[in-house]
Structure 1
């Protein structure tokens, strides 16, 4: 493993075998974070029925590819809070490089907001403390209830599965939905890497065979047989 804010992407920067984010039915980690406006926010102090928290960065093609689907959910469920936890750059390049300090990180998060991201963007600290507590993956997603319990988690966000999980919870059922990994569309990958700048695409392509094997093939196969505990929407942990 390299330092947290790596300058070049490598599959060795992630544990692609085991996801260490909070387990279902356990207390979600809480942090005081800044949003892009500089306001301090209690992560678990949301007003909606649930919080849908997605991990992301402007150089992550998976996150960029999910934004349309997540925007649809925001419009569909006005009584649910949605937030993005802005973390390290997944694929830094010459134009958008690794963060050297918190101000640079906040500037990238602000750029994401200017690009039309309507969800509240919460900026993790420079060392990635909250990111580490939520598993350190670049595009995980969690649904958390008012008691702070994790009701649904997916190491890779699949908006279709997240939508089904929300529907189950709103109907008083556990969010037992299998969130299979779906790769980003090639055009979104190319655009994201182009915006990131020179070096990002080459680093991505270098790691692509491992990403395909670990996520698209191995992970999805294991998920087929995985059984998660059933956690009710009003669980108190």
Structure 2
């Protein structure tokens, strides 16, 4: 049984034209808005896995492509421009009056953390949060995560060079580790659990967390 209906929507923002691909639950449902990273788009394996799985659990997924990606540029702009693009999309995400969880992977997770409270999001999902540049733990971005001010879930690869789970500071958030996974949640072919199971760990954690938030709609 197909539990979702898909649609693509262009949205004009101060940073240019963004694009939202909707993966809707059958009934009116909370929205999980997911932004992509600085090195890729919404085709990322973690974002696609959530778009496949979450609608059957009563959560609509909105994959948000930042204007720079829609325009075909290969280099992400400055954080303030990413934030402007995300803020510009928000009215479309919240337009049905349903609660919205702000989320994203990597740079998209940072955007969500920085902007969620001000936009009226109900929670934050951070996938592969880039705690620091690889090999530069002194360049910590923990303040963005700790300052989100909302219920927050971090899902982090066990071998993510941008921050392994044990490097994260104590704080008001939940953290789930995907064993052996890198920054893009890829695992070695010989790893146990394997790639499919690694993505199941990720999606199961998000389903459990989203359900634990209580009745959002």
Which bracket does the TM-score occupy, shorter chain normalised? 0.3 to 0.5
Name the structure where strand makes up a greater proportion of residues.
2
Q: Work out which of the two has the higher radius of gyration on C-alpha atoms and give 1 or 2.
A: 1
TM score, norm. by length of structure 2: 0.34
The answer to which structure, 1 or 2, has the higher relative contact order (CA under 8 A, 6+ apart) is 1
